[in-house]
Amino acid sequence: MLVAVALPVAVPRAYVYAVPEPLRARVVPGSRVVVPLGARTLIGIVTAIDVPSPAKGKLRDIVSAPDADAALSAPLLALGRWMSRYYAAPPGIVLRAMLPVALTGAAVPVAPIKRQRVARIAKTLESLLERDTLFKRAPKQRALYELLESLGASHPARALVVQAGVTAAVLTQLVTRGLVRIEQAPIARDPFATRAIAAARTLVPTDAQRNAIAQLIALPPGQGALLRGVTGSGKTLVYIEYLRDVIEKRDQGAIVLVPEIALTPQTVDRFRTAFGDRVAVLHSALSDGERFDEWASISRGEKRIVVGARSAIFAPVHRLGAIVVDEEHEATYKQGDSPRYHARDLARVRAVAEQATFVLGSASPSLESWTQAQRGELLLLELPERAGGAQLPTVHVIDRRKESAATRAAVVRTGTTTTLQGTSFGHAITPALEKALAERLARREQSILLLNRRGYAHFMQCGDCGFVSQCPNCAIALTYHRTPERLACHYCGHREAPPAHCPNCGGPPMRERGLGTQQLERLLTERWPEARIARMDMDTTGAKWAHATILDRVGSGEVDILLGTQMIAKGLDFPNVTLVGVIDADVGINLPDFRASERCFQLLSQVAGRAGRGAKGGEVFIQTREPTHHAVTCAVTHDYLRFAGEELEGRSRPAYPPMLFLANAVISGTEEIATGDAARAVADWTRRLIHTRMPGAVEVVGAAPCPVERIKQRWRWHFLVKSADTDALGRIGRYIVEHGPVPSTAGMRLAWDRDPVTLL
């Protein structure tokens, strides 16, 4: 028998192997097999059996088939096939991404799937009397014994000894004396299990929630809904009640996707409170072994609900009944490396294939999902008001153009570039926001400050009128480069000299923008030395559980001001937060990306949504130099409909998604000039290909340098491929990936990113 095996190598097709007689029963579609490839031994997945013999080449035998059952079910294998075609990604790379690392690691021998980790569990025998006599000369034994009791009379032996700070001999003595018994028991290592579960609060659904729950329960299999609920409207309760029906009434399983578990411990806690140990939590901070344990218990059908980030969409849930995608607009659902899939889009594909229902939830849906709901492809459900009587916060806009005259003294000219000479408190935080913060500190209420400062993509802005130079062809902000000094478009390559004075108002020299979270923290500490300040950004959250630790401190009232990057904008629900300040709303608006406004609106809506979730109400201050930009004005009035309308109009000239489909082809290499030449050559080759094969159906824009021109010592260029025809775009992508004339010099590589969420 010959079988096709997908191997984790960048080759667009499966390999064919012969199956030795004794292995036949174990080799089925979806099984793991160990095979030779050249001099290497690799783990692959069987994609088809009884395949015809390829024309040439000598066939080799499969070495072993470690598992009694398939690692991937038929529907998941089909999902992998779909991904491979749609994203033009090698099948073996796709299938590897769908399984836990413990199963796909190159290390052989392979651990069999059906395996339970066993631990020695110490148990007390019965309640002990006369301890004073029993432990008279053995205080350590007594301490250990009583610790075990306090841990519920049963605890893993090793952890017990460690926790008691004694040697293993003490435990052995207790066992010898017959006071403690050791049992072998299967354990799963689940760090989330150590988080306390809050007592369930019984909430009575509002009318809007009740209606949404009923409509979700009534959704026919394979259908999806978009749940648009303002921040604090209680979307989580809707998901939970809908899943209760799926799990308890229909006896099916479910997947809940959240943008990042570390940032949403509260949401995870709510699911665990509702469904207890039927919930598996797939967390990026899990070790490979922990992840495997969760995967295995889902695969055995012990856990029915999977809560996890993007890759949880591949969880081997039995009888999948529903998929929830919370905060569906989040960019984190898109995988950055191959396979560059979008988990929200896979949710739809998987739900349709497995006849499950799906719900996408957000306060500010992606324009893609919004358009689908408008077309009736998704059922639109709305929660227009906050639950539990809370009101949406009042939002104040602080027009920073007005104070720039006051701070202009701090600006000096050096050569042709203007730079800020240090940054004063007043430069970062306007008097209005300062006053609001001081009030919160005095009233012992909490504040959140957002400063979404990323270290690249500087742009030039007029301090007086807020003007930002735009590309004449692409309708995106031009990026400021220092050496050589110029403004450049990162889509089409257009470039121009930076204007000496604002072209709009003729005012003062244009300014380069920038202020980071670290600096902001320092300014706050200097201003309010007594305030308890916590900073949350990439630099403070490196450690496992660092996010949860910071957020727990906020939740328990140990923090007065939480400041951070967009990390702090997501799903947090702290009733004592009554103030949200956005330091620099327009940083995001001018990133050279067609989604910049959408991202900015979503971020402002999300972060504003953290304020006033309790009875005390809330206020939001948005500091901006673009108070009239629709991303700002619509966020101020909580007006998603107007934002979506205006933004969609902007996406039609020139056309961007969701008006059509887009792919970003990135060519990178170690040499600057060669990379640019190669990118232009591949783009031209693609243009010619389209011209002869499918004229008019597909458009190519570029090549141009990527906004981030160099990452990890690799130069990056890109071109965009646009089409209204999704199949045509898929065909082009597969053809470019397989046949595109990418030179094999200078480490040159092509990455095809279909439905990109960022063009940086």
Q: 559, 445 in Cβ contact below 8 A?
A: no
- Give residue 649's region: left, alpha or beta (phi > 0; psi -120 to 50): alpha
How far, in Å, CA of 621 to CA of 431, rounded?
11
Q: How many other C-beta atoms are found inside a 10 Å radius of the C-beta of residue 612? A: 25
The contact pattern for Zn ion, residues 489-508, with x = CB under 5 A and - = no contact, is x-xx-x--------------
569 is an interface residue for Zn ion by CB under 5 A: no
229 is an interface residue for ligand ADP by CB under 6 A: yes
Beta carbon nearer to ligand ADP, 203 or 728: 203
Beta carbon nearer to ligand ADP, 22 or 389: 389
Q: Choose, by CB under 5 A, the member of 471, 667, 678, 706 that binds Zn ion.
A: 471
The interface region with Zn ion, picked from 9-17, 193-201, 467-475, 523-531 by CB under 5 A, is 467-475
Q: Choose, by CB under 6 A, the member of 234, 259, 463, 588 that binds ligand ADP.
A: 234
The interface region with ligand ADP, picked from 6-14, 95-103, 230-238, 493-501 by CB under 6 A, is 230-238
- 387: partner contacted, choices Zn ion, ligand ADP, none (Cβ within 5-8 A by kind): ligand ADP
Identify residues 386-445 at the interface with ligand ADP (CB under 6 A).
387-388
Q: What is the DSSP letter of 453?
A: -
Q: How many other C-beta atoms are found inside a 10 Å radius of the C-beta of residue 435? A: 11
Beta carbon nearer to ligand ADP, 230 or 682: 230
| E strand residue ranges, 279-387 | 279-282, 305-308, 320-325, 357-362, 379-383
Q: Choose, by CB under 6 A, the member of 232, 509, 564, 707 that binds ligand ADP.
A: 232
- 35: partner contacted, choices ligand ADP, Zn ion, none (Cβ within 5-8 A by kind): none
Give the residue carrying structure tokens 């031009």. 478
- 494: partner contacted, choices ligand ADP, Zn ion, none (Cβ within 5-8 A by kind): Zn ion
Q: How many other C-beta atoms are found inside a 10 Å radius of the C-beta of residue 525? A: 14
How far, in Å, CA of 294 to CA of 309, rounded?
14
At its nearest, how many Å lie between ligand ADP and the CB of residue 524? 27
How far, in Å, CA of 244 to CA of 275, rounded?
8
At its nearest, how many Å lie between Zn ion and the CB of residue 719? 12
Q: 717, 666 in Cβ contact below 8 A?
A: yes
- 720: partner contacted, choices ligand ADP, Zn ion, none (Cβ within 5-8 A by kind): none
- Give residue 638's region: left, alpha or beta (phi > 0; psi -120 to 50): left
Beta carbon nearer to Zn ion, 45 or 474: 474
Alpha helices in 135-264 (DSSP H): 139-150, 157-164, 168-176, 207-217, 235-244
How far, in Å, CA of 525 to CA of 528, rounded?
5
Q: 514, 453 in Cβ contact below 8 A?
A: yes
Alpha carbons within 13 A on the beta-carbon side of 542: 2
How far, in Å, CA of 663 to CA of 757, rounded?
10
SS3 349: helix
- 155: partner contacted, choices Zn ion, ligand ADP, none (Cβ within 5-8 A by kind): none
Beta carbon nearer to Zn ion, 268 or 492: 492
At its nearest, how many Å lie between ligand ADP and the CB of residue 383? 7
- 75: partner contacted, choices Zn ion, ligand ADP, none (Cβ within 5-8 A by kind): none
At its nearest, how many Å lie between Zn ion and the CB of residue 241? 48
The interface region with ligand ADP, picked from 23-31, 204-212, 279-287, 550-558 by CB under 6 A, is 204-212
310 residue type, one letter: R
How far, in Å, CA of 390 to CA of 231, rounded?
10
486 is an interface residue for Zn ion by CB under 5 A: no
Which residues, including other chains, have CB under 8 Å from residue 619's CB and lie 6 or more apart? 393, 394, 395, 396, 436, 578, 579, 580, 611, 612
Beta carbon nearer to Zn ion, 322 or 474: 474
Q: 30, 65 in Cβ contact below 8 A?
A: no
The interface region with Zn ion, picked from 75-83, 157-165, 468-476, 562-570 by CB under 5 A, is 468-476
- 471: partner contacted, choices ligand ADP, Zn ion, none (Cβ within 5-8 A by kind): Zn ion
At its nearest, how many Å lie between Zn ion and the CB of residue 703? 12
Identify residues 550-609 at the interface with ligand ADP (CB under 6 A).
573
At its nearest, how many Å lie between ligand ADP and the CB of residue 326? 7
Beta carbon nearer to ligand ADP, 203 or 660: 203
203 is an interface residue for ligand ADP by CB under 6 A: yes
450 is an interface residue for ligand ADP by CB under 6 A: no
The contact pattern for ligand ADP, residues 314-343, with x = CB under 6 A and - = no contact, is ------------------------------
Beta carbon nearer to ligand ADP, 43 or 226: 226
Name the percent of the chain in helix, strand, coil, to the closest 5. 35, 25, 40
Spell out a b/e string for 640-669, using b for 16 or more CB atoms within 10 Å of the CB, else e.
beebbebbbeebeebebbbbbbbbbbbbbb
Residue 655 β-bridge partners: 652
- 232: partner contacted, choices Zn ion, ligand ADP, none (Cβ within 5-8 A by kind): ligand ADP
Size of the site for Zn ion (CB under 5 A): 7
Structure tokens at 703: 């090549």
The contact pattern for ligand ADP, residues 116-135, with x = CB under 6 A and - = no contact, is --------------------
Q: What is the DSSP letter of 744?
A: S
> Phi, psi at residue 166, to the nearest 5°?
-120, 170
SS3 273: helix
623 is an interface residue for ligand ADP by CB under 6 A: no
473 is an interface residue for Zn ion by CB under 5 A: yes
Beta carbon nearer to ligand ADP, 102 or 325: 325
Q: Choose, by CB under 6 A, the member of 196, 199, 204, 412 that binds ligand ADP.
A: 204
At its nearest, how many Å lie between Zn ion and the CB of residue 489? 3
Nearest CA-CA partner of 309 in 280, 272, 338, 289: 280
Q: What is the DSSP letter of 468?
A: B
Q: Choose, by CB under 6 A, the member of 31, 64, 104, 206 that binds ligand ADP.
A: 206
Q: Which residues bind Zn ion (CB under 5 A)?
A: 471, 473-474, 489, 491-492, 494
